[in-house]
């Protein structure tokens, strides 16, 4: 994907914690890259968004997915498995952005082809720094698939 255009990078944030949603949005507002952030509050909403079902029938395909593990309906592992087993979705980078630092969760995420695993820092300033590092690596350094 050519990021030299003025078209914003579309990020799907799958997160049920409103505070984390706001912090993530604020961090991306500080970034050098123009972004559009869509939010799904649970696993079912995320899958409806990605498969353009129901109220999300007109949803645009995201360039990047930030996925929490501990979300209602379907957890992040279930959503990740569905994304990475679908031909039309599997090229979208999925970054697990979660409070869990359990090795079991980390291993399971990579077994289901997560592109990265980031444990959410507790301090607000560290959280903002982590989001900016994600932005720097995934949106500036890496090339995203079409």
The structure tokens listed for 89 are 């979705």
At a CB cut-off of 8 Å and minimum separation 6, what does 122 contact? none
Give whole-number Cα distances, 90 to 79, 121, 134, in Å.
12, 27, 19
Residue 115: per-residue pLDDT: 94
Residue 80: per-residue pLDDT: 97
Query: Which among 136, 50, 128, 3 is positioned nearest to 116, based on CA atoms?
Result: 136
The structure tokens listed for 50 are 């990605």
Distance of alpha carbon 76 from alpha carbon 146, whole angstroms:
24
Q: Is the pTM of this model over 0.95?
A: no
| 3-state SS, residue 83 | helix
Query: Which among 133, 128, 129, 91 is positioned nearest to 113, based on CA atoms?
Result: 91
Residue 137: per-residue pLDDT: 85
Give whole-number Cα distances, 8 to 2, 5, 33, 36, 86, in Å.
11, 8, 7, 6, 25
pLDDT tens for the 146 residues of the chain, in order: 444 456 888 999 999 999 889 988 988 887 778 889 999 999 999 999 999 999 999 999 999 999 999 999 999 999 999 999 999 999 999 999 988 889 999 999 999 999 999 998 888 888 888 888 888 888 777 887 77
Segment holding 97, helix H or strand E: strand 94-98
Helices (H), 32-75: 43-50
């Amino acid at each position: 994907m050519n990021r030299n255009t003025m078209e914003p990078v579309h990020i799907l944030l799958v997160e049920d914690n409103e505070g984390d949603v706001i912090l993530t949005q604020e961090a991306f507002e500080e970034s050098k890259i123009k972004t559009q952030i869509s939010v799904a509050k649970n696993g079912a909403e995320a899958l409806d968004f990605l498969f353009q079902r129901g109220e999300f029938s007109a949803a645009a395909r995201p360039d990047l997915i930030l996925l929490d593990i501990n979300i209602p309906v379907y957890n992040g592992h279930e959503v990740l498995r569905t994304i990475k087993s679908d031909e039309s979705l599997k090229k979208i980078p999925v970054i697990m952005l979660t409070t869990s630092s359990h090795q079991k969760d980390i291993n399971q995420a990579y077994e289901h082809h997560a592109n990265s695993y980031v444990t959410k820092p507790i301090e607000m300033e560290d959280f903002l720094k982590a989001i900016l590092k994600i932005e720097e690596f995934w949106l500036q350094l890496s090339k995203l698939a079409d």
